[in-house]
């Protein structure tokens, strides 16, 4: 017997799998064992869950669902007996209403939601700015919160983001535009942000100057009335699909009419007329897109997230890619970039903290990295 044959037999013997009583398994039995056993043991699935950090995704879903129920009082209405539609308030939670009503929240929370308790900071900036009042608290929120925790509220709390995540759970194959077009479409939300802030500042300046008598107050009020007639109390709120989903539809469904809280809105945009069908059509398009791609509204349209992202680039809380553990282009399972709901190519980013205005800190890239090279860092 040659030396080569002896070596091959020794290698084969070292690779054998032995059963409980010491008998060797042949190669064909070992292949069957490797293919079938993992799918039959609970131990395998438990290990797989922790290896892929499914616990993170489960925790995020629970947090999103809890925030959805609390913010819109669906659970409180039926469990605790509070009914915001008829004004019945339980003594233990009634004090929450005025407090949450004036706290600007760091995500897309539509103004005047049927079962909501608060208002998003971007809606508050529009509402107060158009009245000629500087929104100090809302500006403070947008300067402080993204620096501390980035856009984590978009990924973990935002109710409309949660709705999009639910639509993305369907088994429909996800399709995305090319990288070039994806970058172009992402600029839409920044254009919307600039236009809305410009209009708010322009109108707020006129209103303020009229209030202090620099210009004719009557002229300023007529100007403001002419500009805001089709745009209610906030420019973007008029067509915001989140506002339609959480404000208009609940009231129309539960009451058959619009709640008095929305009387400041222009009636043609509330009644069942042509403008309402435009708003409903916009919402339907967004929800249909959410079936075929992850978070289309967050990717391309949401001005609330755009402003959060501009500040959030300097966040202390980030996702980081390790240079010592990441295999880079040679990675055999680059699932981190495929998992990102907002289309960030994690593998193309430099090693170290990933400061990207699109990142919503959902941690899906952390959950999907098979080499534990994508981690969360603070500082």
Predicted confidence (pLDDT) per residue in 225-235, tens digit = 777 776 766 78
Give the Cα separation of 369 and 342 in Å (integer). 17
**Residue 354 has what DSSP assignment?**
E
pLDDT band at 90 (very low <50, low <70, confident <90, very high): very low
SS3 301: coil
Q: Where are the alpha helices (DSSP H) in the chain?
A: 3-14, 27-36, 42-51, 54-72, 74-79, 96-101, 121-130, 136-149, 152-156, 159-168, 179-186, 188-211, 217-228, 241-243, 249-255, 274-292, 296-300, 303-312, 335-339, 364-368
pLDDT band at 77 (very low <50, low <70, confident <90, very high): low
Name the pTM for this structure.
0.77
What local confidence, expressed as pLDDT, does residue 158 receive? 93
pLDDT, greater one: 49 or 212: 212
Q: Quickly tell me which residue has 């929450």 as its tokens.
A: 96
The mean predicted confidence, pLDDT, of the chain is 76
Examine the pLDDT at 295 and tell me if it is beyond 90: yes
Give the Cα separation of 83 and 89 in Å (integer). 7
Examine the pLDDT at 101 and tell me if it is beyond 80: no
What local confidence, expressed as pLDDT, does residue 209 receive? 86
SS3 318: strand
pLDDT tens, residue by residue, 1-11: 555 655 555 55
Q: Which CATH architecture has domain 316-378?
A: 2-Layer Sandwich (3.30)
Give the Cα separation of 167 and 183 in Å (integer). 23
What local confidence, expressed as pLDDT, does residue 42 receive? 59
pLDDT, greater one: 35 or 323: 323
Within 13 Å of residue 338, how many CA atoms lie on the same side as its CB?
A: 9
Examine the pLDDT at 127 and tell me if it is beyond 60: yes
Share of the chain above pLDDT 90, in %: 22
Q: State both tokens at 208.
A: 């303020």
pLDDT band at 259 (very low <50, low <70, confident <90, very high): very low
Give the Cα separation of 172 and 318 in Å (integer). 31
CATH 3.30.70.20 intervals, the chain: 316-378
What local confidence, expressed as pLDDT, does residue 355 receive? 87
Rounded average pLDDT over 149-162: 92
What local confidence, expressed as pLDDT, does residue 19 receive? 47
Examine the pLDDT at 170 and tell me if it is beyond 50: yes
Within 13 Å of residue 14, how many CA atoms lie on the same side as its CB?
A: 6
Examine the pLDDT at 94 and tell me if it is beyond 50: no
**Residue 245 has what DSSP assignment?**
I
Task: State residue 262 phi and psi, 5-degree precision.
Answer: -105, 15
DSSP 323-353: TTT--GGG-S--HHHHH-TT---GGGSPSEE
What local confidence, expressed as pLDDT, does residue 273 receive? 62
Q: Quickly tell me which residue has 């158009």 as its tokens.
A: 130
Rounded average pLDDT over 149-173: 91
Of the spans 200-214, 256-270, 322-336, which averages the highest pLDDT?
200-214
Longest CA–CA separation in the chain, Å: 109
What local confidence, expressed as pLDDT, does residue 97 receive? 52
Q: State both tokens at 6.
A: 């002896």
Rounded average pLDDT over 342-361: 86
Let me know: does 184 contact 170? Beta carbons within 8 Å. Answer: no
Give the Cα separation of 319 and 363 in Å (integer). 8
Rounded average pLDDT over 355-373: 83
């Amino acid at each position: 017997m040659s030396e080569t044959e002896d070596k091959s037999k020794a290698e084969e013997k070292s690779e054998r799998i032995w059963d409980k009583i010491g008998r060797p398994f042949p190669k064909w039995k070992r292949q069957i064992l490797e293919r079938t056993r993992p799918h039959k043991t609970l131990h395998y699935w438990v290990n797989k869950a922790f290896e892929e950090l499914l616990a993170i995704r489960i925790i995020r879903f629970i947090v999103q669902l809890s925030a959805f129920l609390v913010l819109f009082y669906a659970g409180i209405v039926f469990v605790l007996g509070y009914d915001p539609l008829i004004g019945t308030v339980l003594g233990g939670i009634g004090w929450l209403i005025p407090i949450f009503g004036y706290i600007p929240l760091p995500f897309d929370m539509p103004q005047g939601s049927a079962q909501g308790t608060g208002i998003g900071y971007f809606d508050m900036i529009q509402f107060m700015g158009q009245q000629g009042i500087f929104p100090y608290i809302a500006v403070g929120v947008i300067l402080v919160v993204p620096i501390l925790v980035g856009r984590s509220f978009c990924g973990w709390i935002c109710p409309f983001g949660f709705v999009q995540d639910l639509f993305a759970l369907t088994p429909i194959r996800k399709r995305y535009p090319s990288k070039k077009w994806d970058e172009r479409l992402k600029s839409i939300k920044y254009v919307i942000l600039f236009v809305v802030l410009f209009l708010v500042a322009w109108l707020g300046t006129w209103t303020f100057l009229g209030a202090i008598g620099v210009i004719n107050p009557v002229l300023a009020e007529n100007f403001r009335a002419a500009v805001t007639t089709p745009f209610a109390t906030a420019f973007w709120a008029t067509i915001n699909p989140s506002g339609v989903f959480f404000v208009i539809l609940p009231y129309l469904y539960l009451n058959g009419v619009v709640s008095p809280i929305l009387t400041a809105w222009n009636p043609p945009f509330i009644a069942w007329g042509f403008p309402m069908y435009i708003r409903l059509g916009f919402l339907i398009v967004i929800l249909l897109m959410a079936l075929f791609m992850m978070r289309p509204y967050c990717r391309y349209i949401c001005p609330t997230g755009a402003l959060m992202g501009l500040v959030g680039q300097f966040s202390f809380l980030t996702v980081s890619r390790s240079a010592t553990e990441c295999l880079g282009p040679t990675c055999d399972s680059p699932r981190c970039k495929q998992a990102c709901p907002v289309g960030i190519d994690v593998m193309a980013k430099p090693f170290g903290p990933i400061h990207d205005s699109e990142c919503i800190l959902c941690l899906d890239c952390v959950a999907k990295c098979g080499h534990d090279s994508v981690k969360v860092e603070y500082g």
